[in-house]
A and B are shown apart, each in its own frame.
Chain A
Protein backbone atom coordinates (compact mmCIF):
# COMPACT_ATOMS: atom_id res chain seq x y z
CA UNK A 1 0.00 0.00 0.00
CA UNK A 2 2.94 2.32 0.61
CA UNK A 3 3.77 2.18 -3.10
CA UNK A 4 0.22 2.99 -4.08
CA UNK A 5 0.09 5.92 -1.65
CA UNK A 6 3.34 7.39 -2.87
CA UNK A 7 2.11 7.01 -6.45
CA UNK A 8 -1.10 8.85 -5.62
CA UNK A 9 0.88 11.60 -3.93
CA UNK A 10 3.10 11.95 -6.94
CA UNK A 11 0.17 12.09 -9.35
CA UNK A 12 -1.62 14.70 -7.21
CA UNK A 13 1.48 16.88 -7.22
CA UNK A 14 2.39 16.53 -10.92
CA UNK A 15 -0.92 16.06 -12.68
CA UNK A 16 -1.42 19.70 -13.64
CA UNK A 17 2.08 20.03 -15.09
CA UNK A 18 1.85 16.77 -17.02
CA UNK A 19 -1.56 17.71 -18.39
CA UNK A 20 -0.27 21.05 -19.63
CA UNK A 21 2.72 19.45 -21.36
CA UNK A 22 0.46 16.82 -22.90
CA UNK A 23 -1.84 19.54 -24.21
CA UNK A 24 1.05 21.30 -25.89
CA UNK A 25 2.13 18.05 -27.43
CA UNK A 26 -1.25 16.99 -28.76
CA UNK A 27 -3.07 20.30 -29.20
CA UNK A 28 -6.27 18.64 -28.03
CA UNK A 29 -7.75 18.30 -24.55
CA UNK A 30 -9.18 14.84 -24.97
CA UNK A 31 -6.04 13.50 -26.55
CA UNK A 32 -4.02 15.16 -23.81
CA UNK A 33 -6.15 13.40 -21.18
CA UNK A 34 -5.70 10.07 -22.93
CA UNK A 35 -2.00 10.63 -23.20
CA UNK A 36 -1.64 11.46 -19.51
CA UNK A 37 -3.73 8.48 -18.48
CA UNK A 38 -1.80 6.04 -20.60
CA UNK A 39 1.51 7.41 -19.48
CA UNK A 40 0.50 7.17 -15.81
CA UNK A 41 -0.71 3.58 -16.25
CA UNK A 42 2.74 2.76 -17.62
CA UNK A 43 4.32 4.56 -14.70
CA UNK A 44 2.09 2.73 -12.17
CA UNK A 45 3.13 -0.62 -13.68
CA UNK A 46 6.77 0.13 -12.81
CA UNK A 47 6.29 2.47 -9.87
CA UNK A 48 8.39 0.56 -7.32
CA UNK A 49 11.43 0.64 -9.55
CA UNK A 50 10.88 4.23 -10.62
CA UNK A 51 10.40 5.59 -7.12
CA UNK A 52 13.37 3.60 -5.86
CA UNK A 53 15.56 5.47 -8.35
CA UNK A 54 14.88 8.86 -6.75
CA UNK A 55 13.23 11.62 -8.78
CA UNK A 56 10.48 10.03 -10.95
CA UNK A 57 10.17 13.10 -13.22
CA UNK A 58 12.75 12.14 -15.87
CA UNK A 59 11.22 8.72 -16.34
CA UNK A 60 7.65 10.00 -16.35
CA UNK A 61 8.55 12.66 -18.88
CA UNK A 62 10.25 10.08 -21.06
CA UNK A 63 7.15 7.88 -20.99
CA UNK A 64 4.90 10.81 -21.87
CA UNK A 65 6.95 11.91 -24.84
CA UNK A 66 7.62 8.45 -26.15
CA UNK A 67 3.96 7.57 -25.84
CA UNK A 68 3.12 10.62 -27.89
CA UNK A 69 5.58 9.74 -30.65
CA UNK A 70 4.34 6.16 -30.52
CA UNK A 71 0.77 7.33 -31.06
CA UNK A 72 1.82 9.27 -34.07
CA UNK A 73 3.62 6.28 -35.48
CA UNK A 74 0.56 4.13 -35.11
CA UNK A 75 -1.47 6.76 -36.89
CA UNK A 76 -3.86 7.01 -34.03
CA UNK A 77 -3.85 10.75 -34.27
CA UNK A 78 -4.54 10.65 -37.96
CA UNK A 79 -7.49 8.32 -37.47
CA UNK A 80 -9.07 10.42 -34.78
CA UNK A 81 -10.94 13.58 -35.70
CA UNK A 82 -8.64 16.39 -34.80
CA UNK A 83 -10.32 18.89 -32.57
CA UNK A 84 -10.29 22.52 -33.42
CA UNK A 85 -8.50 24.83 -31.03
CA UNK A 86 -10.26 24.48 -27.69
CA UNK A 87 -13.33 26.62 -27.61
CA UNK A 88 -12.94 27.97 -24.14
CA UNK A 89 -13.93 31.19 -22.56
CA UNK A 90 -10.76 32.90 -21.60
CA UNK A 91 -10.06 36.38 -20.52
CA UNK A 92 -9.29 38.71 -23.33
CA UNK A 93 -5.55 38.81 -23.53
CA UNK A 94 -5.14 41.01 -26.51
CA UNK A 95 -2.87 42.09 -27.96
CA UNK A 96 -1.15 38.66 -27.68
CA UNK A 97 -4.26 36.66 -28.62
CA UNK A 98 -3.69 36.78 -32.36
CA UNK A 99 -0.10 35.76 -31.94
CA UNK A 100 -1.17 32.92 -29.67
CA UNK A 101 -3.55 31.56 -32.25
CA UNK A 102 -0.88 31.80 -34.88
CA UNK A 103 1.57 29.89 -32.69
CA UNK A 104 -1.04 27.21 -31.98
CA UNK A 105 -1.75 26.68 -35.69
CA UNK A 106 1.92 26.72 -36.55
CA UNK A 107 2.66 24.11 -33.86
CA UNK A 108 0.22 21.75 -35.50
CA UNK A 109 2.32 21.66 -38.62
CA UNK A 110 5.33 20.27 -36.77
CA UNK A 111 6.18 16.63 -36.47
CA UNK A 112 5.65 15.10 -33.00
CA UNK A 113 9.40 15.01 -32.50
CA UNK A 114 9.90 18.64 -33.43
CA UNK A 115 6.99 19.59 -31.22
CA UNK A 116 8.39 17.60 -28.33
CA UNK A 117 11.74 19.31 -28.70
CA UNK A 118 10.14 22.75 -28.55
CA UNK A 119 7.97 21.88 -25.56
CA UNK A 120 10.87 20.38 -23.64
CA UNK A 121 13.23 23.21 -24.46
CA UNK A 122 10.94 26.25 -24.15
CA UNK A 123 8.06 25.10 -21.93
CA UNK A 124 9.81 22.73 -19.57
CA UNK A 125 13.04 24.75 -19.75
CA UNK A 126 15.27 21.71 -20.15
CA UNK A 127 18.78 21.97 -21.52
CA UNK A 128 19.71 20.34 -24.80
CA UNK A 129 21.41 17.54 -22.93
CA UNK A 130 18.34 16.90 -20.74
CA UNK A 131 16.09 17.02 -23.79
CA UNK A 132 18.28 14.49 -25.54
CA UNK A 133 18.04 12.17 -22.52
CA UNK A 134 14.25 12.39 -22.43
CA UNK A 135 13.87 11.70 -26.14
CA UNK A 136 16.61 9.05 -26.18
CA UNK A 137 18.55 10.73 -28.94
CA UNK A 138 21.81 12.63 -29.36
CA UNK A 139 22.30 16.30 -28.55
CA UNK A 140 22.99 16.87 -32.23
CA UNK A 141 19.57 15.46 -33.07
CA UNK A 142 17.99 17.82 -30.54
CA UNK A 143 19.80 20.75 -32.13
CA UNK A 144 18.79 19.81 -35.64
CA UNK A 145 15.18 19.16 -34.60
CA UNK A 146 15.04 22.54 -32.86
CA UNK A 147 16.47 24.28 -35.89
CA UNK A 148 14.06 22.55 -38.24
CA UNK A 149 11.07 23.23 -35.97
CA UNK A 150 11.81 26.92 -35.74
CA UNK A 151 12.42 27.14 -39.47
CA UNK A 152 9.07 25.53 -40.13
CA UNK A 153 7.37 27.87 -37.70
CA UNK A 154 8.89 30.83 -39.48
CA UNK A 155 7.84 29.45 -42.84
CA UNK A 156 4.26 28.75 -41.83
CA UNK A 157 3.83 31.88 -39.74
CA UNK A 158 6.03 34.64 -41.13
CA UNK A 159 4.41 37.08 -38.74
CA UNK A 160 6.36 35.40 -35.91
CA UNK A 161 9.37 37.32 -37.07
CA UNK A 162 10.89 37.47 -33.62
CA UNK A 163 11.55 33.74 -33.78
CA UNK A 164 14.41 34.56 -36.07
CA UNK A 165 16.62 35.25 -33.12
CA UNK A 166 15.74 32.11 -31.25
CA UNK A 167 18.37 29.35 -31.18
Chain B
Protein backbone atom coordinates (compact mmCIF):
# COMPACT_ATOMS: atom_id res chain seq x y z
CA UNK B 1 0.00 0.00 0.00
CA UNK B 2 1.23 3.44 -0.87
CA UNK B 3 0.83 5.92 2.01
CA UNK B 4 1.53 8.85 -0.26
CA UNK B 5 -1.47 7.97 -2.36
CA UNK B 6 -3.70 8.07 0.72
CA UNK B 7 -2.16 11.36 1.77
CA UNK B 8 -3.04 12.88 -1.59
CA UNK B 9 -6.63 11.67 -1.40
CA UNK B 10 -6.90 12.97 2.15
CA UNK B 11 -5.60 16.36 1.06
CA UNK B 12 -8.90 16.90 -0.71
CA UNK B 13 -10.68 17.12 2.64
CA UNK B 14 -10.78 20.56 4.24
CA UNK B 15 -11.11 20.77 8.03
CA UNK B 16 -14.63 19.75 9.01
CA UNK B 17 -17.06 22.52 9.91
CA UNK B 18 -18.06 22.28 13.53
CA UNK B 19 -21.17 23.63 15.27
CA UNK B 20 -20.67 26.46 17.75
CA UNK B 21 -22.18 24.46 20.59
CA UNK B 22 -19.99 21.41 20.20
CA UNK B 23 -18.88 21.61 23.83
CA UNK B 24 -22.44 22.04 25.09
CA UNK B 25 -23.59 19.14 22.96
CA UNK B 26 -20.95 17.05 24.69
CA UNK B 27 -22.23 18.19 28.09
CA UNK B 28 -25.79 17.30 27.16
CA UNK B 29 -24.65 13.88 26.04
CA UNK B 30 -22.93 13.44 29.39
CA UNK B 31 -26.13 14.34 31.22
CA UNK B 32 -28.14 11.87 29.18
CA UNK B 33 -25.59 9.17 29.78
CA UNK B 34 -25.61 9.77 33.53
CA UNK B 35 -29.39 9.74 33.57
CA UNK B 36 -29.29 6.46 31.68
CA UNK B 37 -26.86 5.01 34.22
CA UNK B 38 -29.14 6.12 37.05
CA UNK B 39 -32.19 4.54 35.41
CA UNK B 40 -30.22 1.37 34.73
CA UNK B 41 -29.08 1.28 38.35
CA UNK B 42 -32.66 1.63 39.55
CA UNK B 43 -33.82 -1.10 37.17
CA UNK B 44 -31.04 -3.41 38.32
CA UNK B 45 -31.88 -2.69 41.94
CA UNK B 46 -35.57 -3.34 41.37
CA UNK B 47 -34.82 -6.55 39.49
CA UNK B 48 -32.39 -7.66 42.18
CA UNK B 49 -35.17 -7.27 44.73
CA UNK B 50 -38.00 -8.52 42.55
CA UNK B 51 -36.52 -11.57 40.86
CA UNK B 52 -35.87 -13.63 44.00
CA UNK B 53 -39.32 -12.73 45.33
CA UNK B 54 -41.11 -13.54 42.09
CA UNK B 55 -39.05 -16.70 41.70
CA UNK B 56 -40.04 -17.67 45.23
CA UNK B 57 -43.68 -17.14 44.42
CA UNK B 58 -43.32 -19.17 41.24
CA UNK B 59 -41.65 -21.98 43.13
CA UNK B 60 -44.41 -21.86 45.69
CA UNK B 61 -47.04 -21.81 42.96
CA UNK B 62 -45.85 -25.10 41.49
CA UNK B 63 -45.91 -26.92 44.80
CA UNK B 64 -48.50 -29.67 44.77
CA UNK B 65 -51.84 -28.53 46.10
CA UNK B 66 -52.09 -31.43 48.50
CA UNK B 67 -48.98 -30.40 50.38
CA UNK B 68 -50.12 -30.20 53.98
CA UNK B 69 -48.41 -26.92 54.91
CA UNK B 70 -48.48 -25.44 58.38
CA UNK B 71 -50.09 -22.57 60.23
CA UNK B 72 -47.57 -19.69 60.34
CA UNK B 73 -46.38 -18.81 63.82
CA UNK B 74 -46.81 -15.10 63.10
CA UNK B 75 -48.59 -12.95 60.57
CA UNK B 76 -48.31 -9.26 59.77
CA UNK B 77 -50.65 -6.56 58.56
CA UNK B 78 -50.90 -6.57 54.76
CA UNK B 79 -49.51 -3.71 52.70
CA UNK B 80 -51.93 -1.02 51.60
CA UNK B 81 -51.42 -2.06 48.00
CA UNK B 82 -51.74 -5.80 48.65
CA UNK B 83 -53.49 -7.59 45.81
CA UNK B 84 -56.94 -8.96 46.46
CA UNK B 85 -57.70 -12.61 45.76
CA UNK B 86 -57.96 -12.84 41.97
CA UNK B 87 -55.99 -9.66 41.25
CA UNK B 88 -52.85 -11.76 41.45
CA UNK B 89 -53.96 -15.40 41.81
CA UNK B 90 -51.82 -17.20 44.35
CA UNK B 91 -51.93 -20.42 42.35
CA UNK B 92 -51.58 -23.97 43.63
CA UNK B 93 -49.89 -22.81 46.84
CA UNK B 94 -52.75 -20.43 47.56
CA UNK B 95 -55.06 -22.52 49.79
CA UNK B 96 -55.21 -20.74 53.09
CA UNK B 97 -53.09 -21.68 56.04
CA UNK B 98 -54.85 -18.88 57.89
CA UNK B 99 -57.37 -16.12 57.35
CA UNK B 100 -57.62 -13.10 59.59
CA UNK B 101 -59.51 -9.83 59.53
CA UNK B 102 -58.24 -6.30 59.88
CA UNK B 103 -59.43 -2.78 59.19
CA UNK B 104 -55.92 -1.63 58.29
CA UNK B 105 -56.26 -2.01 54.57
CA UNK B 106 -57.00 0.38 51.74
CA UNK B 107 -60.70 -0.44 52.12
CA UNK B 108 -60.65 1.14 55.63
CA UNK B 109 -63.17 -1.43 56.82
CA UNK B 110 -62.91 -4.93 58.09
CA UNK B 111 -61.23 -6.92 55.35
CA UNK B 112 -60.24 -10.55 55.20
CA UNK B 113 -56.62 -11.44 54.62
CA UNK B 114 -55.77 -14.94 53.46
CA UNK B 115 -52.28 -16.21 54.12
CA UNK B 116 -51.61 -19.05 51.71
CA UNK B 117 -49.59 -22.16 52.40
CA UNK B 118 -46.94 -20.60 50.19
CA UNK B 119 -46.86 -17.52 52.41
CA UNK B 120 -48.80 -15.36 49.96
CA UNK B 121 -51.00 -12.56 51.31
CA UNK B 122 -54.22 -11.68 49.49
CA UNK B 123 -57.14 -9.53 50.54
CA UNK B 124 -60.72 -10.77 50.71
CA UNK B 125 -63.01 -7.83 50.11
CA UNK B 126 -66.15 -7.80 52.22
CA UNK B 127 -69.36 -6.05 51.36
CA UNK B 128 -70.51 -3.41 53.83
CA UNK B 129 -71.95 -5.16 56.88
CA UNK B 130 -70.97 -8.59 55.61
CA UNK B 131 -70.41 -11.14 58.34
CA UNK B 132 -67.36 -13.35 58.37
CA UNK B 133 -67.41 -16.68 56.59
CA UNK B 134 -65.66 -20.00 56.98
CA UNK B 135 -62.71 -21.75 55.40
CA UNK B 136 -63.31 -25.14 53.86
CA UNK B 137 -61.35 -27.90 55.65
CA UNK B 138 -58.73 -27.97 52.87
CA UNK B 139 -58.38 -24.17 52.99
CA UNK B 140 -59.02 -23.77 49.29
CA UNK B 141 -62.33 -21.95 49.52
CA UNK B 142 -63.54 -19.15 51.70
CA UNK B 143 -67.28 -19.61 52.13
CA UNK B 144 -68.92 -16.20 52.40
CA UNK B 145 -72.43 -15.65 53.75
CA UNK B 146 -74.92 -16.70 51.12
CA UNK B 147 -72.71 -19.72 50.38
CA UNK B 148 -70.57 -17.79 47.92
CA UNK B 149 -67.48 -19.95 47.46
CA UNK B 150 -64.39 -17.86 46.83
CA UNK B 151 -61.57 -19.92 45.34
CA UNK B 152 -58.44 -18.62 47.08
CA UNK B 153 -56.15 -20.01 44.37
CA UNK B 154 -57.84 -18.27 41.45
CA UNK B 155 -60.18 -15.63 42.83
CA UNK B 156 -63.17 -17.18 41.04
CA UNK B 157 -66.40 -17.15 43.00
CA UNK B 158 -69.50 -19.30 42.64
CA UNK B 159 -72.62 -19.88 44.68
CA UNK B 160 -72.86 -23.33 46.19
CA UNK B 161 -76.62 -23.29 46.72
CA UNK B 162 -79.54 -20.99 46.17
CA UNK B 163 -79.84 -19.34 49.57
CA UNK B 164 -80.21 -15.74 50.72
CA UNK B 165 -77.08 -13.60 51.10
CA UNK B 166 -77.65 -13.38 54.85
CA UNK B 167 -77.48 -17.17 55.28
CA UNK B 168 -74.58 -17.79 57.58
CA UNK B 169 -72.14 -20.73 57.36
CA UNK B 170 -71.63 -22.19 60.84
CA UNK B 171 -69.61 -25.42 60.86
CA UNK B 172 -68.38 -28.22 58.60
CA UNK B 173 -69.12 -31.85 59.31
CA UNK B 174 -66.06 -33.81 60.48
CA UNK B 175 -65.57 -35.34 57.03
CA UNK B 176 -66.08 -31.96 55.36
CA UNK B 177 -68.93 -33.23 53.21
CA UNK B 178 -71.66 -31.04 54.73
CA UNK B 179 -71.91 -27.50 55.99
CA UNK B 180 -74.37 -26.29 58.61
CA UNK B 181 -76.00 -23.03 57.58
CA UNK B 182 -78.34 -20.76 59.50
CA UNK B 183 -81.13 -19.56 57.25
CA UNK B 184 -82.35 -16.11 58.31
CA UNK B 185 -86.10 -15.65 58.10
CA UNK B 186 -86.36 -12.17 59.64
CA UNK B 187 -87.40 -9.07 57.84
CA UNK B 188 -84.58 -6.58 57.65
CA UNK B 189 -84.20 -3.49 59.83
CA UNK B 190 -86.80 -4.24 62.50
CA UNK B 191 -85.97 -3.24 66.04
CA UNK B 192 -87.05 -5.37 68.98
CA UNK B 193 -86.19 -5.26 72.64
CA UNK B 194 -85.43 -2.23 74.73
CA UNK B 195 -81.92 -1.33 73.62
CA UNK B 196 -82.56 -0.14 70.04
CA UNK B 197 -80.36 -2.91 68.70
CA UNK B 198 -81.89 -4.89 65.85
CA UNK B 199 -82.63 -8.33 67.16
CA UNK B 200 -83.95 -11.52 65.69
CA UNK B 201 -87.69 -11.67 65.35
CA UNK B 202 -89.05 -14.35 67.72
CA UNK B 203 -92.14 -14.57 65.52
CA UNK B 204 -89.95 -15.62 62.58
CA UNK B 205 -87.42 -18.10 63.95
CA UNK B 206 -84.60 -19.14 61.70
CA UNK B 207 -83.94 -22.55 60.21
CA UNK B 208 -80.89 -24.73 60.28
CA UNK B 209 -79.90 -26.62 57.14
CA UNK B 210 -77.05 -28.86 56.10
CA UNK B 211 -75.72 -28.29 52.59
CA UNK B 212 -73.94 -31.00 50.64
CA UNK B 213 -70.59 -29.47 49.65
CA UNK B 214 -70.39 -31.52 46.48
CA UNK B 215 -73.87 -31.08 45.05
CA UNK B 216 -75.24 -28.07 46.90
CA UNK B 217 -78.29 -30.10 47.99
CA UNK B 218 -79.98 -28.68 51.09
CA UNK B 219 -81.29 -30.72 53.99
CA UNK B 220 -83.32 -29.24 56.85
CA UNK B 221 -81.92 -30.16 60.25
CA UNK B 222 -84.06 -27.90 62.43
CA UNK B 223 -86.99 -25.71 61.53
CA UNK B 224 -87.58 -22.79 63.87
CA UNK B 225 -86.64 -23.50 67.49
CA UNK B 226 -84.44 -20.38 67.89
CA UNK B 227 -84.54 -16.75 66.88
CA UNK B 228 -81.31 -17.39 65.01
CA UNK B 229 -78.42 -19.85 65.00
CA UNK B 230 -75.21 -18.22 66.10
CA UNK B 231 -72.90 -21.14 66.87
CA UNK B 232 -72.90 -24.77 65.84
CA UNK B 233 -70.55 -27.63 66.55
CA UNK B 234 -70.50 -31.06 65.01
CA UNK B 235 -69.56 -33.99 67.25
CA UNK B 236 -66.34 -35.73 66.12
CA UNK B 237 -68.23 -38.84 65.01
CA UNK B 238 -70.66 -36.72 63.00
CA UNK B 239 -73.79 -38.08 64.67
CA UNK B 240 -74.77 -35.11 66.84
CA UNK B 241 -74.64 -31.37 66.62
CA UNK B 242 -74.70 -28.77 69.37
CA UNK B 243 -76.38 -25.54 68.33
CA UNK B 244 -76.85 -22.32 70.19
CA UNK B 245 -78.85 -19.22 69.52
CA UNK B 246 -80.94 -16.50 71.15
CA UNK B 247 -84.50 -17.01 72.25
CA UNK B 248 -87.18 -14.72 73.63
CA UNK B 249 -88.13 -11.15 72.84
CA UNK B 250 -85.06 -8.99 72.38
CA UNK B 251 -82.78 -12.05 72.24
CA UNK B 252 -82.66 -12.01 76.03
CA UNK B 253 -81.99 -15.72 76.49
CA UNK B 254 -79.70 -18.28 74.94
CA UNK B 255 -80.73 -21.80 74.10
CA UNK B 256 -78.21 -24.60 73.74
CA UNK B 257 -79.60 -27.57 71.93
CA UNK B 258 -77.95 -30.90 71.22
CA UNK B 259 -79.68 -32.76 68.44
CA UNK B 260 -79.31 -35.68 66.10
CA UNK B 261 -77.34 -34.57 63.09
CA UNK B 262 -79.51 -36.56 60.66
CA UNK B 263 -83.02 -36.11 61.96
CA UNK B 264 -82.67 -32.97 64.08
CA UNK B 265 -84.35 -34.76 66.95
CA UNK B 266 -83.47 -32.95 70.21
CA UNK B 267 -81.28 -34.85 72.65
CA UNK B 268 -81.11 -32.08 75.23
CA UNK B 269 -82.05 -28.42 75.45
CA UNK B 270 -80.73 -25.90 77.96
CA UNK B 271 -82.05 -22.37 78.21
CA UNK B 272 -79.95 -19.81 79.99
CA UNK B 273 -81.38 -16.37 80.60
CA UNK B 274 -78.27 -15.12 82.36
CA UNK B 275 -76.02 -14.51 79.41
CA UNK B 276 -72.79 -15.43 81.18
CA UNK B 277 -72.17 -18.70 79.38
CA UNK B 278 -72.07 -19.71 75.73
CA UNK B 279 -71.16 -22.60 73.50
CA UNK B 280 -67.41 -22.38 73.01
CA UNK B 281 -67.44 -22.48 69.23
CA UNK B 282 -67.49 -24.70 66.17
CA UNK B 283 -65.04 -27.10 67.87
CA UNK B 284 -66.90 -27.18 71.19
CA UNK B 285 -67.04 -30.97 71.31
CA UNK B 286 -64.03 -32.51 73.02
CA UNK B 287 -62.03 -34.76 70.67
CA UNK B 288 -63.47 -37.91 72.24
CA UNK B 289 -67.00 -36.61 71.69
CA UNK B 290 -67.90 -36.98 75.39
CA UNK B 291 -68.24 -33.36 76.51
CA UNK B 292 -69.07 -29.93 75.21
CA UNK B 293 -66.90 -26.90 75.93
CA UNK B 294 -68.53 -23.71 77.17
CA UNK B 295 -67.05 -20.28 77.70
CA UNK B 296 -68.32 -18.59 80.84
CA UNK B 297 -67.44 -15.46 82.73
CA UNK B 298 -67.92 -13.60 85.96
CA UNK B 299 -68.74 -9.96 85.62
CA UNK B 300 -71.16 -7.57 84.06
CA UNK B 301 -74.00 -9.20 82.11
CA UNK B 302 -76.43 -6.36 81.36
CA UNK B 303 -75.97 -2.92 79.83
CA UNK B 304 -72.23 -3.17 80.17
CA UNK B 305 -69.86 -0.50 79.00
CA UNK B 306 -66.57 -1.38 77.36
CA UNK B 307 -64.59 -1.24 80.61
CA UNK B 308 -67.05 -3.55 82.32
CA UNK B 309 -66.93 -5.99 79.41
CA UNK B 310 -63.14 -5.96 79.47
CA UNK B 311 -63.16 -6.67 83.20
CA UNK B 312 -64.91 -10.01 82.82
CA UNK B 313 -63.04 -13.03 84.18
CA UNK B 314 -63.36 -15.88 81.75
CA UNK B 315 -63.16 -19.63 82.16
CA UNK B 316 -63.58 -22.75 80.07
CA UNK B 317 -66.06 -25.32 81.29
CA UNK B 318 -66.88 -28.80 80.05
CA UNK B 319 -70.50 -29.90 80.16
CA UNK B 320 -72.30 -33.17 79.67
CA UNK B 321 -74.13 -32.94 76.33
CA UNK B 322 -77.12 -34.87 77.57
CA UNK B 323 -77.79 -33.18 80.90
CA UNK B 324 -76.07 -29.86 80.32
CA UNK B 325 -74.41 -30.03 83.73
CA UNK B 326 -70.82 -28.94 84.26
CA UNK B 327 -68.70 -32.00 84.95
CA UNK B 328 -65.12 -30.70 85.34
CA UNK B 329 -63.29 -27.96 87.17
CA UNK B 330 -63.31 -24.77 85.15
CA UNK B 331 -60.12 -23.69 83.41
CA UNK B 332 -59.39 -20.02 84.14
CA UNK B 333 -58.48 -17.87 81.15
CA UNK B 334 -56.20 -14.91 81.74
CA UNK B 335 -57.43 -12.85 78.80
CA UNK B 336 -60.46 -12.76 76.56
CA UNK B 337 -61.46 -15.87 74.61
CA UNK B 338 -63.12 -15.65 71.23
CA UNK B 339 -64.06 -19.10 69.97
CA UNK B 340 -62.71 -22.62 70.36
CA UNK B 341 -61.76 -23.69 66.85
CA UNK B 342 -59.90 -26.94 67.54
CA UNK B 343 -57.93 -29.05 69.97
CA UNK B 344 -54.23 -29.77 70.37
CA UNK B 345 -53.05 -33.23 71.35
CA UNK B 346 -56.64 -34.12 72.26
CA UNK B 347 -56.35 -32.06 75.42
CA UNK B 348 -55.66 -28.34 74.95
CA UNK B 349 -58.40 -26.15 73.52
CA UNK B 350 -57.22 -24.09 70.53
CA UNK B 351 -59.01 -20.78 70.57
CA UNK B 352 -58.92 -17.26 69.24
CA UNK B 353 -57.63 -15.22 72.10
CA UNK B 354 -57.02 -11.60 73.10
CA UNK B 355 -54.04 -11.69 75.48
CA UNK B 356 -54.73 -8.23 76.90
CA UNK B 357 -58.27 -7.89 78.25
CA UNK B 358 -57.90 -4.11 78.39
CA UNK B 359 -56.94 -3.91 74.73
CA UNK B 360 -59.12 -6.34 72.86
CA UNK B 361 -57.89 -5.11 69.48
CA UNK B 362 -55.28 -7.80 69.03
CA UNK B 363 -56.42 -11.36 68.67
CA UNK B 364 -54.11 -14.32 68.44
CA UNK B 365 -54.52 -18.05 68.13
CA UNK B 366 -53.58 -19.83 71.31
CA UNK B 367 -53.74 -23.21 73.02
CA UNK B 368 -55.28 -23.32 76.50
CA UNK B 369 -53.82 -26.00 78.74
CA UNK B 370 -55.96 -27.62 81.44
CA UNK B 371 -54.02 -25.66 84.07
CA UNK B 372 -54.85 -22.37 82.37
CA UNK B 373 -51.45 -21.82 80.77
CA UNK B 374 -51.56 -20.21 77.35
CA UNK B 375 -49.32 -21.18 74.41
CA UNK B 376 -49.42 -18.69 71.58
CA UNK B 377 -49.74 -20.56 68.30
CA UNK B 378 -50.11 -17.60 65.95
CA UNK B 379 -48.80 -14.23 67.05
CA UNK B 380 -50.28 -11.13 65.48
CA UNK B 381 -49.83 -7.36 65.37
CA UNK B 382 -52.50 -5.01 66.82
CA UNK B 383 -55.68 -4.72 64.78
CA UNK B 384 -55.91 -8.38 63.81
CA UNK B 385 -59.02 -10.32 64.74
CA UNK B 386 -61.19 -13.31 63.86
CA UNK B 387 -58.46 -15.74 62.93
CA UNK B 388 -59.64 -18.69 60.84
CA UNK B 389 -57.61 -21.85 60.34
CA UNK B 390 -58.82 -24.63 58.03
CA UNK B 391 -59.99 -27.73 59.86
CA UNK B 392 -57.46 -29.88 58.01
CA UNK B 393 -54.52 -28.06 59.56
CA UNK B 394 -56.21 -27.85 62.94
CA UNK B 395 -56.79 -31.59 63.07
CA UNK B 396 -53.25 -32.41 61.99
CA UNK B 397 -51.90 -30.00 64.61
CA UNK B 398 -49.65 -28.39 62.02
CA UNK B 399 -48.74 -25.32 64.04
CA UNK B 400 -45.43 -23.51 64.32
CA UNK B 401 -44.86 -22.83 60.62
CA UNK B 402 -42.40 -20.10 59.66
CA UNK B 403 -43.67 -16.53 60.16
CA UNK B 404 -45.37 -15.23 57.03
CA UNK B 405 -44.67 -11.73 55.79
CA UNK B 406 -46.56 -10.06 52.97
CA UNK B 407 -44.68 -9.60 49.74
CA UNK B 408 -44.49 -6.01 48.52
CA UNK B 409 -44.69 -7.26 44.94
CA UNK B 410 -48.07 -9.00 45.21
CA UNK B 411 -49.90 -5.87 44.12
CA UNK B 412 -52.69 -5.15 41.65
CA UNK B 413 -51.81 -3.77 38.22
CA UNK B 414 -52.91 -0.27 39.14
CA UNK B 415 -50.34 -0.18 41.97
CA UNK B 416 -47.59 -0.90 39.48
CA UNK B 417 -48.99 1.82 37.20
CA UNK B 418 -48.92 4.32 40.09
CA UNK B 419 -45.37 3.34 41.00
CA UNK B 420 -44.20 3.70 37.40
CA UNK B 421 -46.02 6.95 36.71
CA UNK B 422 -43.32 9.27 38.18
CA UNK B 423 -40.61 7.49 36.19
CA UNK B 424 -42.63 7.77 32.99
CA UNK B 425 -43.37 11.42 33.75
CA UNK B 426 -39.66 12.20 34.17
CA UNK B 427 -38.85 10.37 30.96
CA UNK B 428 -41.58 12.30 29.13
CA UNK B 429 -40.25 15.63 30.46
CA UNK B 430 -36.67 14.77 29.49
CA UNK B 431 -37.79 13.72 26.04
CA UNK B 432 -39.79 16.89 25.56
CA UNK B 433 -36.88 19.05 26.64
CA UNK B 434 -34.60 17.28 24.23
CA UNK B 435 -37.07 17.81 21.42
CA UNK B 436 -37.30 21.53 22.27
CA UNK B 437 -33.53 21.78 22.42
CA UNK B 438 -33.28 20.36 18.91
CA UNK B 439 -35.75 22.95 17.62
Contacts and interface: CB of A to CB of B under 8 A. Distances in A.
Interface in B1-45: 1-3, 5-19, 22-23, 25-27, 29-30, 33
Contact of A123 (B3, B16, B33): B3
Contacts, number: 97
Contacts of B15: 15-16, 19
Contacts of A86: 12
B26 A47 contact: yes
Nearest to B31: A45
Nearest to A101: B9
A-B residue pairs, 5 tightest by C-beta: A44-B26, A23-B13, A20-B10, A36-B16, A45-B29
B1 A121 contact: yes
Interface string A2-37: 001001100100011011111110000100110011
B225 to A, nearest CB: 85
The number of chain A residues touching the other chain, given as a range, is: 35 or more
B16 A125 contact: no
21 contacts: A11-B22, A15-B18, A16-B15, A19-B13, A19-B15, A24-B10, A32-B13, A32-B16, A37-B16, A37-B18, A37-B22, A40-B18, A44-B22, A44-B26, A44-B29, A45-B30, A86-B12, A88-B12, A121-B1, A122-B1, A123-B3
Interface of A: 4, 7-8, 11, 15-16, 18-24, 29, 32-33, 36-37, 40-47, 86, 88, 90, 93, 96, 99-100, 103-104, 118-119, 121-123, 125, 150, 153, 162-163, 166
Given A99-B5, A119-B6, A121-B1, A42 B16 contact: no
B16 A15 contact: yes
B1 A4 contact: no
Contacts of A42: 26, 29
Given A7-B23, A103-B9, 7 more contacts: A4-B23, A15-B15, A16-B15, A37-B22, A44-B25, A100-B5, A163-B1
Contact of A11 (B1, B8, B18): B18
The number of chain B residues touching the other chain, given as a range, is: 20 to 34
Given A15-B15, A16-B15, A122 B23 contact: no
B145 to A, nearest CB: 65
B405 to A, nearest CB: 45
A162 B16 contact: no
A19 B22 CA distance: 15
